[in-house]
Amino acid sequence: MTAQGNRNTLIGGEIINRALQRYGAQTCFVLAGTAHAHLLWAMEKDRARYPWTIVSGRHESATVSEADGYARASGKLGIAMINAEQGLPNAMTGICTAQAACVPVLVLTTLSAPSQLESRNEGSNDALDMVKPFVKWARTVPNVERLEEYVHAGAISALSGRPGVAVLGIPYGLAAQAAEMIDRPPMPLTEPLNPAPSDEALERAADLIANTKRPLILVGTGAALSGAGPALRKLATTYRFPVMANALGRGLVPEDLKLGFGWPLAQIAAKHADVVLCLGMRLTRRMGFGLAPRFSPDAKFIQVDVHAEELGRSRPIDLAIVSDVRLAVEKLDAALAARAFTNTVDPAWINAALAPRLSRITDLGVGDAGPIHPYRIGRELAKRLPADAIYVGDGADIQNWMHGIIRIQSERGFMDHYPLGSMGVGTPLAVGAAAAMKEEALATGRPARPVVLVTGDGAFGFYASEFNGAVNAGLKLICIISNDGGWGTEKHGQIKTLGTHINCELGHCDYHLVGQGYGTAGERIEMQTEIGPALDRAFASAVPVVLNVITDPMAGLLRKEDPRVQCIAVQDLVSSLKTHYTPRDA
């Protein structure tokens, strides 16, 4: 023994394994191959002490998106392993999706050995050049002695500040090399204290809120990442402030259509708000940039974000606060209580604005005769969806229809392909979420939260093979396909514009048989009355389930014509952009 501790010879794979264990994740997502054999061997050898689960991917993009879904559902670091040469180009969609959604994912990618690099090849000598513009952090480990340092640097980069994707390049053979390590107590991971709002900012915020007639709270992913749920529910309940949520912010306040609302459904009421408190939400295109006509041009905006560059990005902000969202909400609640503030405004003004939309939704897809309307899927699912379920949305038309029906009731209970919008990622997101819930159930002894994916037939086709890994890993999830036989959004857009459609037909394929081929349960559903019993069987199933629901091929045309059913709104963007880019004194 030395003063520094015991010396121990480890290979690179063992070093990486030990370093990854510091972050609490017990599941990783790997596309099989020789690239990570020594790391996987180390994980397998260490399983008695640290129970790793390895979920096998079939496509690099899906492998990364599975780590993404795991991280969104669990709040832990998502870990994906791929090979760089052929794999990194394939992985770009998953990488960009996770980065855009602010998800902490560490991608371990094996690079060609330096001796194999060509001096005059067509590409760059650095394989990571491909990803560097699209991630938070990308580095190559220089030697085996620095592996531990680089794993920690990548993980901390992915998790800290605004979370995102870190890509660690590991030259081929490094994981097999031996290094003499010194056993010592691990240094504590740096956990920075998040910023809190100043007293002056709180007073100004309280002044604006105290004079409001129609307050509105907008919450996004940043609110979920900060753990603001309990404080937000207390604030909303105490003062009857309505909350509209998007992305991972959905479910922080249960969507009861009294105080909690999903943004896609309720956004048409936002234009009536006079003070908008924006918590960890980026004012992107889906939010109409925070501008008219989606919001009143006279509305006062308070924006809270831990990332200073986000403040005022899309519109002038009356009060911009750099702060952790949870701390801001807790301190705002205390400031209002100190004033003995009582909100006298009934949030029913949102319900009044929603009444025509909800009435129209209620009228559609009722009865047992005729083709299946997507709303029937939503209604049957809503009856059975447990409050703690994780809902994953994918596709285009079906995603819009489900926004009108499904209400998210719990934290980290919603995910979709927003904001990148890449079709098909719902499948791997759901696989990752199911893996997280299995891990949580094993740790707590409680039943796993159910995971339900609702997708379109077009979107399902991208990564259907990922059900192979889900079955082999013993995961439970339900996939419901709205099979309208084509690329519905494009088809009906062409019909409305051209009077016909071209290259939009897919046919009512037997996608349930695809699932069965990978070991799932599967059913084809063609009648309205079959949906409910099939869902009952799906929730009781011990294996993944694929329900292939044949829906009305023409249902989506109404979505192009009736704004009351348009939960993903784009028709006002020209007006919003004109407001955004026109000088204020013009």
pLDDT in tens, 58-112: 999 999 999 999 999 999 999 999 998 889 999 999 999 999 999 999 999 999 7
pLDDT in tens, 421-467: 999 999 999 999 999 999 999 999 999 999 999 999 999 999 999 99
In which band, very low, low, confident or very high, does the pLDDT at 208 lie, cut at 50, 70 and 90? Answer: very high
Are 141 and 262 members of one domain? no
Are 134 and 221 members of one domain? no
pLDDT in tens, 363-396: 999 989 989 999 999 999 999 999 999 999 999 9
Mean pLDDT of 138-155: 95
User: 301, 324, 351: which is the final residue of a domain?
Assistant: 351
Cα(547)–Cα(5) distance, integer angstroms:
57
Note the pLDDT of residue 120: 67
Residue 561 covered by a domain:
no
Residue 445 burial (10 A CB sphere; 0-12, 13-18, 19+)? exposed
- Show the tokens assigned to 546: 């694929």
Please determine, for residue 572, whether its predicted confidence score (pLDDT) is greater than 90.
Answer: no
Are 53 and 172 members of one domain? yes
Are 178 and 218 members of one domain? no
In which band, very low, low, confident or very high, does the pLDDT at 4 lie, cut at 50, 70 and 90? Answer: very low
Residue 397 covered by a domain:
yes
User: 299, 329, 351: which is the final residue of a domain?
Assistant: 351
| Of residues 351, 393, 401, 375, the one with CA closest to residue 565 | 401
In which band, very low, low, confident or very high, does the pLDDT at 30 lie, cut at 50, 70 and 90? Answer: very high
Report the residue count for the chain. 586
Q: Could you tell me whether strands 7-11 and 53-57 are parallel, antiparallel, or unpaired per DSSP bridges?
A: unpaired
Residue 138 covered by a domain:
yes
| Of residues 554, 568, 549, the one with CA closest to residue 456 | 549
Please determine, for residue 571, whether its predicted confidence score (pLDDT) is greater than 70.
Answer: no
Are 145 and 221 members of one domain? no
In which band, very low, low, confident or very high, does the pLDDT at 135 lie, cut at 50, 70 and 90? Answer: very high
Q: How confident is the prediction for the chain on average, in pLDDT? A: 92
Note the pLDDT of residue 577: 65
Residue 492 covered by a domain:
yes
Are 262 and 209 members of one domain? yes
Longest dimension (CA), the chain: 82
Number of structural domains (the chain) is 3
Are 175 and 205 members of one domain? no
Residue 228 burial (10 A CB sphere; 0-12, 13-18, 19+)? buried
Residue 487 covered by a domain:
yes
User: 151, 182, 213: which is the final residue of a domain?
Assistant: 182
Mean pLDDT of 216-239: 97
In which band, very low, low, confident or very high, does the pLDDT at 1 lie, cut at 50, 70 and 90? Answer: very low
- Show the tokens assigned to 477: 């999830």
pLDDT in tens, 511-539: 999 999 999 999 999 999 999 999 999 99
Please determine, for residue 483, whether its predicted confidence score (pLDDT) is greater than 70.
Answer: yes
Note the pLDDT of residue 586: 42
Please determine, for residue 28, whether its predicted confidence score (pLDDT) is greater than 90.
Answer: yes
Amino acid in the structure at residue 453: L
Residue 53 covered by a domain:
yes
Q: Which domain holds residue 126?
A: 7-182
Are 225 and 337 members of one domain? yes
Please determine, for residue 119, whether its predicted confidence score (pLDDT) is greater than 90.
Answer: no
Query: How close are the terminal C-alpha atoms of the chain, in Å?
Result: 76
Residue 380 covered by a domain:
yes
Residue 400 makes CB contacts below 8 A (sequence gap 6+) with 264, 559, 565, 566, 567, 568
Mean pLDDT of 344-352: 90
Residue 581 covered by a domain:
no
Please determine, for residue 6, whether its predicted confidence score (pLDDT) is greater than 50.
Answer: yes
Are 396 and 542 members of one domain? yes
pLDDT in tens, 534-551: 999 999 999 999 999 999
The CATH number for 347's domain is 3.40.50.1220
Token pair 């501008």 in the structure block, residue: 291
How large a percentage of the chain has pLDDT more than 90?
83
Are 126 and 214 members of one domain? no
- Please state which of the ranges 34-38, 161-165, 258-262, 275-279 shows the lowest mean pLDDT: 34-38
Mean pLDDT of 484-497: 92
pLDDT in tens, 399-433: 999 999 999 999 999 999 999 999 999 999 999 99
Are 478 and 385 members of one domain? yes
- CA-to-CA separations, 363 to 67, 398, 400, 407, in angstroms, rounded: 40, 17, 17, 18
Q: Are 265 and 403 contacting, i.e. CB atoms less than 8 angstroms apart? A: yes
408: left (phi over 0), alpha (psi -120 to 50) or beta: beta
Cα(584)–Cα(467) distance, integer angstroms:
52
The CATH number for 163's domain is 3.40.50.970
Are 81 and 160 members of one domain? yes
Note the pLDDT of residue 17: 96
Note the pLDDT of residue 384: 98
Please determine, for residue 145, whether its predicted confidence score (pLDDT) is greater than 50.
Answer: yes
Note the pLDDT of residue 3: 38
Note the pLDDT of residue 105: 98
pLDDT in tens, 253-301: 999 999 999 999 999 999 999 999 999 999 998 999 999 999 999 999 9
